Amino acid sequence: MTKPSPRATRPAGSAMQRHKAELRREIIDTAFVCFADKGYHATGIADIAGQLGIGHGTFYRYFSNKRDIIDHVIDDLAARIIDALGTENAPDAATTLDEYRAQIDRIGVALTGILTADRRVAQLLLFHATGIDDELTQRLYGLLDTADTLTAGYLDHGVELGYLRADLDTANTARAVTGMLIAGLVHSLRDPDESAIAALNQAIRRLLVDGVRKD
């Protein structure tokens, strides 16, 4: 009896699901190009669909409107950042200064990869998104608040265990760290040279250790 080929035994839905995922990604990528060329408000669904050669109906099977695309991008970005802060990088994972330093290095590498993987994401969120509507502006402010709270958690844990300075103002230091990360991201958009980005990230990571460690 002839065995069925691997292609024949592959679930019929797998190819379809892959095609849907690819088209969804293409819609997002094309929307970004259109937003960059014409601006968010001047870009219509017809512009995005026309670039892809698809109908309006196909677009609406994936997204409710062009605003929905930005929500998807933010959700995806937040999920990847949270995933990067998993078990070994959790705020309470480090127990010594050396472990904290190694943790900061891992997080720095992971965040750099996430935030620079597609520079259009950073450009959209940093320079365009706050002018789209109040709801999105508040959501972005919420992301900043979340970043501040997460960073403060790492600092509070270090103070509690005694490897960071006891007099550290963790709340405001966390806000300063968020500011450094945003500034670093802006510089990486201006100068995408990998060595320059690596040097800047190293300087930020040194400040996050040498600037707050217990003497």
Q: What tens digit of pLDDT does each residue of 26-37 get?
A: 998 898 888 878
First CA to last CA across the chain, in angstroms? Answer: 76
pLDDT in tens, 77-88: 888 888 888 888
Q: Which of 142, 213, 139, 210 is nearest to 178 (CA)?
A: 142
46 band by pLDDT with thresholds 50, 70 and 90: very high
Encode pLDDT of 47-61 as tens digits: 999 999 999 999 999
C-alpha closest to that of 71 among 118, 116, 132, 16? 132
What's the pLDDT score for residue 3?
A: 53
Q: Which two tokens stand for residue 32?
A: 């970004």
Q: Which residue has the tokens 């050669």?
A: 53
φ/ψ of 184, rounded to 5, equals: -65, -35
pLDDT confidence of residue 115: 80
Is the Cβ–Cβ distance between 115 and 108 less than 8 Å? no
Q: What is the pLDDT of residues 143-165, one digit of tens each?
A: 899 999 999 999 999 999 999 99
Question: Per-residue pLDDT tens for 86-138?
Answer: 888 999 999 999 999 999 999 988 888 888 887 888 888 888 888 888 998 99
How buried is residue 97: exposed, middle or buried, by Cβ count under 10 Å (0-12/13-18/19+)? middle
Structural domains of the chain, ranges and CATH numbers in brackets: 12-63 (1.10.10.60), 66-210 (1.10.357.10)
